[in-house]
Structure 1
């Protein structure tokens, strides 16, 4: 596979414009506890009543015997999160994509389970309708939908291949984005990467590859990826592991999807990942026609502020503007950072430094970088009224999680933001406690007007 590095052919260099920072004020804080579980569908009680049996490198069947540790920072400084695997039930965790549907309710989803193809064959894939109650601080899970492929539309072998229902697991897909359109749920996925749709009961009705420049984008985790027969033979893929589809927005009229990759595409001929003219790593933002079930061939580029950054979610707020989470890989407050070259389990070895929500504009020619107009800093949120239920102090509040993967507009002046708590492998709020699923409502009226 050989992709042409499209940005090298731009007619003239594009000067990067500095996005303006705007203030955010905490207007609501609701928490779904880390230890929130659901039972699998009845036919799967025996097989999937226990989850997380494969996270230690070998199968462990006895519940609560493998301690969870934070996956951020040096190995010798990784902290206990206070929870142990395997779990009884399926954890409602790893929220990775959100879409407002009115009346204070949202579609969201649990991602692949425990972090990889290899350790998640007993994690069922789920989408949820949730309702944060900003007054009580609780999060109601109104409905859980388990994804399945009874129509046998998926062209590769599933964990539950030889069952009638063919429920999907975290060894089949790594779900990272969700968009409800009419009577369908659309999902962006990282392993393939793939784009697919289900009905409202979670049954697959459509499936396709991710295509850029007329070529299929492939990652090392594709089910059809073949290992070389000799060590000197190169593998042929264009997306790094865990850098497939991450964010995915839809147009206001529901006719178009905008899937965005989490990492830049590799261009074998250039021997480099895609960049914009000023050298920043660039992520493909694609366009997919829902009615015709095909990519339009149009795309834009989202430039990262640093090569080691990733995006967490993407939602449009009108016909040309959208919200994007951009983040680093750190977790925990800088106030509890370890001294330089002295990382221990008593401090954050790699604290959060860059967690932002950008407002971008697609009102540029296809093939060009989007305009990053404005941003808010999720590590410096005003909380003058003491709204924070945990994490706030002295009128300020931060959201120092390693993965923040949910953002959407709620009103003309408010947005909702949520973390992916990577249960039980993230501890960014407290040094020694697994992160909860936190949802925050932010007042950002001036930001949304840009």
Structure 2
């Protein structure tokens, strides 16, 4: 695979636009549907600071201690529609599933990571970081959360001051890291995060063993949220990874044993604008604990803004979630200004893309074999369990119109599981004014998984 330096990426302004060629669209059929209800919470560990017993106290810019007094809404991008849940919350929200490990746990459950809480360093200092073992039951539509493991830093491996620095337990919070992807190798849990961006190595007990900064061609790569970045820093010089642009995907490659970290968004130049429309993907050797220097580029399709997850299905082929920033069915797109009965920025592009890392072109771009359309999933058997508000007939169709779809893995030679991050209490999608649940969909996609 090709080696790409920061300087080379910064010069390649026009490469991506010509690299995303026409590709096959494969069919997808809904085989199962399960979900965790939006308002699902878990208590903080008994030895966590009392501050963690109530989360979401800092989402308004000022401290709010009164539980349930700050209405959640979808934000300016999506018309500030109320979602019906109010912050702060008693306990920690289970929400925000943001990545699946490639392999199942010993009990057959899925290793899943929850992200940093409420979306930024500033508003998430009282949200704890954790990963889970979860098992969707497609027969009754429920999801069994079998175990939740909280991340902590008792051995002081984190190279900067954490929010709960002076505590004995030293649990990590959303002010420390933004967790977005996960892989499990033996007794080690590897996590891709966005603030550094860093790779975090932890034990199955959640205790951090090491934190690795991102290196590209021998240079340190930082995001705008890196702990050393200040308000006087310059884009394209002091940092090149935009906010929420770190390791949304972390894939474990069979055969080589390498971890491949895929950035969520394109790098930026000195003007603060994206450099092309592609994402760097970097190789890390978990045995040596170092970046290998190998890399390739994933070209975003026209209309796509980011990826949501990345997992191999064999030694060279992998699945990538590709998405835009929209939510809600496009049949209810607002005409003119945003109103309560429409979606100002509906979902238009939500895909699972199949790539082949054995084929990299002369410019470093990986081959896109084809994709399925998550906005148009066949549902002839009526497996869909949740109503979707729309201005069109959705009979026989399952659509997945969510802002952040962030989990995908193959579970057999013919099926994959896809799930989303519901950004509680800030995202909707199926309804105009109700919070999104944590949905899991089992999809029959034999043609895509067999494609070469």
TM-score, length-scaled by structure 2: 0.92
1:129 maps to 133
1:437 maps to 438
Summarize the Cα distance change of 1:47–1:233 in structure 2 as closer, same or farther, 3 Å threshold: closer
Q: Could you report, residue by residue, the CA deviation over 1:257-278 in whole angstroms, capped at 9, with x for unpaired residues?
A: 000111222355x997443xxx
Whether 1:350 aligns to 2:354 is: no
Summarize the Cα distance change of 1:138–1:343 in structure 2 as closer, same or farther, 3 Å threshold: same
Summarize the Cα distance change of 1:233–1:254 in structure 2 as closer, same or farther, 3 Å threshold: closer
Distance 2:302 2:32 in 1: 31
Q: Could you report, residue by residue, the CA deviation over 1:114-172 in whole angstroms, capped at 9, with x for unpaired residues?
A: 01000000000010000000101000000000001100011100001111221000000
Distance 1:307 1:283 in 2: 14
Whether 1:446 aligns to 2:447 is: yes
Question: Which residue of the other structure, out of 279, 288, 292, is the alignment partner of 1:283?
Answer: 279
Q: How far apart are residue 213 of structure 1 and its match?
A: 2.0
1:361 maps to 356
Summarize the Cα distance change of 1:375–1:32 in structure 2 as closer, same or farther, 3 Å threshold: same
Q: Please state whether the residue corresponding to 1:401 is helix, strand or coil.
A: coil
Distance 2:9 2:172 in 1: 36
Q: Please state whether the residue corresponding to 2:50 is helix, strand or coil.
A: helix
Answer whether contact 1:72 1:331 (CA < 8 A) is retained: no
Compare 48-57 and 340-349 and name the one that shifted more: 340-349
Answer whether contact 1:18 1:373 (CA < 8 A) is retained: no
Q: Please state whether the residue corresponding to 1:131 is helix, strand or coil.
A: strand
1:278 maps to none
Q: Please state whether the residue corresponding to 1:30 is helix, strand or coil.
A: strand
Question: Which residue of the other structure, out of 218, 240, 244, is the alignment partner of 2:246?
Answer: 244
Distance 1:119 1:253 in 2: 41
2:324 maps to 328
Q: Could you report, residue by residue, the CA deviation over 1:218-256 in whole angstroms, capped at 9, with x for unpaired residues?
A: 111111113339xx9997211111111111100124721
Summarize the Cα distance change of 1:234–1:302 in structure 2 as closer, same or farther, 3 Å threshold: closer
Structure 1 vs Structure 2 CA RMSD = 2.3
Summarize the Cα distance change of 1:7–1:161 in structure 2 as closer, same or farther, 3 Å threshold: closer
Summarize the Cα distance change of 1:174–1:126 in structure 2 as closer, same or farther, 3 Å threshold: same
Provide runs of 4+ in structure 1 moved above 6 Å.
232-235
Distance 1:271 1:72 in 2: 21
2:296 maps to 300
Residues 220-259 of structure 1 correspond to what in structure 2 (within 5 A)?
Answer: 220-228=224-232, 236-253=238-255, 255-259=257-261
Answer whether contact 1:5 1:274 (CA < 8 A) is retained: no
Distance 1:153 1:48 in 2: 22
Answer whether contact 2:132 2:145 (CA < 8 A) is retained: yes
Q: How far apart are residue 69 of structure 1 and its match?
A: 0.4
Q: How far apart are residue 381 of structure 1 and its match?
A: 0.3
1:5 maps to 8
Answer whether contact 1:228 1:234 (CA < 8 A) is retained: no
Q: Please state whether the residue corresponding to 1:423 is helix, strand or coil.
A: coil
Question: Which residue of the other structure, out of 149, 153, 175, is the alignment partner of 2:153?
Answer: 149
2:423 maps to 422
Answer whether contact 1:178 1:186 (CA < 8 A) is retained: yes
Structure 2: segments with no counterpart, 5+ residues: 389-393
Compare 416-425 and 104-113 and name the one that shifted more: 104-113
Whether 1:101 aligns to 2:97 is: no
Answer whether contact 2:133 2:145 (CA < 8 A) is retained: yes
Summarize the Cα distance change of 1:426–1:15 in structure 2 as closer, same or farther, 3 Å threshold: closer
Answer whether contact 1:3 1:267 (CA < 8 A) is retained: no
Residues 17-416 of structure 1 correspond to what in structure 2 (within 5 A)?
Answer: 17-44=21-48, 46-71=50-75, 73=77, 77-99=79-101, 100-101=103-104, 104-228=108-232, 236-253=238-255, 255-268=257-270, 273-275=274-276, 281-306=277-302, 309-338=305-334, 340-365=335-360, 368-391=364-387, 393-416=394-417
Distance 1:114 1:245 in 2: 18
Q: Could you report, residue by residue, the CA deviation over 1:323-365 in whole angstroms, capped at 9, with x for unpaired residues?
A: 0000000000112222x21320111111100000000010134
TM-score, length-scaled by structure 1: 0.92
